[in-house]
């Protein structure tokens, strides 16, 4: 596609999106745009991003629960939407997950080992996430949208860890406060007991 397909000076032309995006298929999506801002195609692409992230989370849960049938359906679902945008590598990995979920090899032959299928799905899912991240970065750059770098994702994890650590410190502080209150109560009770003993002794002395 010619260079005029750029949205701004920082957005790459379609050939620069790499082999992970089929330019012919993606061009068909772009042809439906009515303006230079490409609002229509942008809504489809960014809607796919949200859909994919939700599907990945569901896949992870299904993998933990060893739900092969669910994984097959999720693979089929994401395969279709990624194929619509021309995300060929994402599509191919989703097809693998679909087949393994059906207890099939990539050539369609049967596999009787559930654990092997789950292992293959786990491996393919990691590859899928990498392929998806590559597509997401390229397409966001095409649309002139901010791209989250790996360092940003690491920062988010670090922030989450820091929050957990703060929560743990707060819990320790709460325990310490409770212990201190208990100790104060014990001291108060001891003082009261001492005062009672002293009063008793004084009464005896007076008598």
Q: At what angle do helices 114-142 and 68-85 cross, to 10 degrees?
A: 30
Asked if residue 48 lies in contact with residue 81, where contact means CB atoms within 8 angstroms, the answer is yes
Residue 154 pLDDT level (bands cut at 50, 70, 90): very low
Average pLDDT of span 153-157: 48
Q: What pTM does this model have?
A: 0.66
Tell me the per-residue pLDDT of 97-149, one tens digit each, with 9 for 90 and over: 999 999 998 888 999 999 999 999 999 999 999 999 999 999 999 898 887 66
Give the rounded percent of residues in the chain with a pLDDT score beyond 90: 52
- Residue 15 near residue 23, CB atoms below 8 Å: yes
Q: pLDDT value at position 74? A: 98
Predicted local distance difference test score (pLDDT) of residue 107? 86
pLDDT of residue 6: 44
Give the separation between CA 133 and CA 111, rounded to whole angstroms: 30
Contacts of 77 (CB under 8 A, 6+ apart): 55
Does 176 or 91 have the greater pLDDT score?
A: 91
Is the pLDDT confidence value at 60 over 50? Answer: yes
Q: Report the pLDDT value the prediction gives residue 10, as an integer from 0 to 100.
A: 47
């Amino acid at each position: 596609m010619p260079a005029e397909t750029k949205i701004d000076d920082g957005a790459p032309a379609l050939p620069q999106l790499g082999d992970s995006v089929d330019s012919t298929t993606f061009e068909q999506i772009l042809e439906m745009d009515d303006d230079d801002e490409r609002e229509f195609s942008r809504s489809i692409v960014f809607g796919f991003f949200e859909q994919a992230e939700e599907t990945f989370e569901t896949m992870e849960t299904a993998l933990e629960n060893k739900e092969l049938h669910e994984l097959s359906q999720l693979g089929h679902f994401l395969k279709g939407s990624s194929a619509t945008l021309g995300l060929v590598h994402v599509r191919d990995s989703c097809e693998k997950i679909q087949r393994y979920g059906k207890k099939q090899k990539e050539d369609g032959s049967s596999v009787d080992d559930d654990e092997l299928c789950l292992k293959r799905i786990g491996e393919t899912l990691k590859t899928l996430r990498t392929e998806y991240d590559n597509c997401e970065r390229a397409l966001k750059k095409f649309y002139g949208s901010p791209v989250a770098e790996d360092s940003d994702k690491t920062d988010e994890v670090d922030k989450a860890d820091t929050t957990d650590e703060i929560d743990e410190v707060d819990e320790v502080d709460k325990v310490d406060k409770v212990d201190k209150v208990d100790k104060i109560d014990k001291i108060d009770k001891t003082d009261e007991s001492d005062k009672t003993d002293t009063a008793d002794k004084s009464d005896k002395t007076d008598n």
